[in-house]
Amino acid sequence: MENYPEVEKYTDSSLMLSNAVENSELILNYATESGLEIREDWVETIIAAKRCDDKKIWDTATEIKFWMAYKGMSKLIQPVSVDSLRATKMRKVTKPNLWQKLFKIKVKASFSKHSVQQYLTWATVWIIVMLIVQVFTLKGTTLLNTIQINKKTISDIDFRMGEVRLMIKADETNERAILERYRLETEKGKLDEEIRGSIDLLRPWVYTIRKLTSVNRLFHTKKQNEVLSKKEELQVTEGPGSGPPGEIAPEVENVDYINIVQEAQNFTQILQLYILPLLYGLIGGFVFVLRGLVFDIKNRIFSQYSNIKYSLRIHLGAIAGLIVGLLWGDIESQQITFLQSLSTAGIAFIAGYGIEYLFNGLDKLIGAIGKLEDSPKQETK
């Protein structure tokens, strides 16, 4: 050990020095529990520093020895740090709230445990939200697909009915053609009923989104007023054979059905290209964070800085999912065969989980574009 000259003692114990002494005890405790090789003079110095801090009386030699021992101990336990050790330390309740008084809770959960609980809670909440939006979107998409398939089938039936009419016109006694026409008309009627039923189920689906987003105030007020005016014009009120009072004419009903289908198509596109990719990217970020927390807490390297890093990671995951939704829609529209099997939501989840690869690819793309722009300038020079 180095010998330092005796100097006059002083009673100035700064807050930084007191905190350093407390931190050195945490480091010593961790190093001892982990079985690390600790120099005996470091332990003696930390004990002496603890006594000086309790009495608030220090001398230069003891303080110098303490800081050197503190430096050596900090380097010994790396990558564990004082901040990560503090994050796993249980805290005493100094100002208990009503809940803590009622259940006589005297110790708070550590910062790391509290952070894990928060991440788990928020991950669970957003997974539930994502599932609700996914199921809601699936319902609208299924109804729209049913309508489109039935419309295509009706178009085929109309084409076939045209052929059958020509056959009947050529030979009115053609029983086979007459039966075929009856069968096609019956099938078309059933498909029309299925389409109307699907649209009736689709109407509350559209109205729900309108209420949630108040889109009707911005875009649909004028359209609804036009439909209402047409209903008033074509509404059948009295007269024999015209139906009961208040019955809506088929023309207005068809206009309303067309509006519902168009709105549903717009809403499903928004949900599939923007909302769901954002949510899946967010969930991907949460999955990455939860996996990282297991490693960090096991190795005692989780700290407040880790919490900031993980919070930013989750937000970047959501942004990555949104970027995928914006770009992937254009890619899918090009009908690239090997990409058709991959869903936008799945790619958004992967982007949110492995966000480094996405942004590294963007950085390389921007760098390549910059080089292409610089090369003509250099050639002109």
DSSP string, 78-113: TT--HHHHHHTS-EE-SS--HHHHHTT--EEPPHHH
What's residue 339's pLDDT? 44
Q: Which whole-number Å values give the CA distances from 272 to 138, 258, 266, in the listed order?
A: 10, 21, 10
Give the SS3 label for residue 214: coil
What's residue 5's pLDDT? 47
Q: Domain locations in the chain?
A: 15-78, 120-368
DSSP string, 37-63: ---HHHHHHHHHHHHHHHHT-B-HHHH
Output the pTM of the full model: 0.73
- Token duo for residue 146: 């049913």
What's residue 238's pLDDT? 41
DSSP string, 345-360: HHHHHHHHHTHHHHHH
Give the SS3 label for residue 236: strand
What's residue 68's pLDDT? 93
End-to-end CA distance of the chain: 67
Q: Which long-range contacts (CB under 8 A, 24 or more apart) does 185-188 make?
A: 185/161, 187/157, 188/154, 188/157, 188/158, 188/161
What is the number of other CB atoms lying within 10 angstroms of the CB of residue 13?
17
What is the number of other CB atoms lying within 10 angstroms of the CB of residue 78?
8
What's residue 232's pLDDT? 47
Dihedral sign from CA coordinates of 190, 209, 135, 270: positive
Query: If you search the block for the tokens 């009503």, which residue do you land on?
Result: 98
**Dist. CA 27–CA 80, nearest whole Å:** 9
pLDDT in tens, the chain (381 residues): 444 444 455 555 578 888 889 889 989 998 998 888 889 999 999 999 999 888 888 888 888 999 999 999 999 999 988 888 888 876 665 566 665 566 566 556 678 888 899 999 999 999 999 999 999 999 999 999 999 999 999 999 989 888 888 888 888 878 888 888 899 999 999 999 999 999 999 999 999 888 887 654 544 445 555 544 554 454 444 444 444 444 444 555 677 788 888 889 889 888 888 899 999 999 999 999 999 998 888 888 888 888 889 999 999 999 989 888 887 765 555 443 344 445 778 888 888 888 877 777 777 777 777 777 666 655 555
**Dist. CA 300–CA 119, nearest whole Å:** 18
